[in-house]
Amino acid sequence: MDGGGGGAISGRLPGGGCAIGRGIGVLDNSQQLGKPKMGYAFCTSTCFCCGRNFSHNPLRVPSFRDPRTGTRKPICLRCVEMVNPDRIKRGLKPIVPLPEAYDPYDPFDRDLP
pLDDT per position as a tens digit, 14-47: 444 333 334 444 445 555 555 556 677 778 999 9
Confidence of residue 105 (pLDDT cuts 50, 70, 90): confident
Buried b (16+ CB within 10 A) or exposed e, 54-68: bebbbebbbeeeeee
Residues 84 and 43 in one domain: yes
SS3 28: coil
pLDDT the model gives residue 106: 78
Confidence of residue 97 (pLDDT cuts 50, 70, 90): very high
Residues 21 and 49 in one domain: no
The model carries a pTM of 0.61
Provide the domain limits for residue 62.
38-113
Residues 63 and 12 in one domain: no
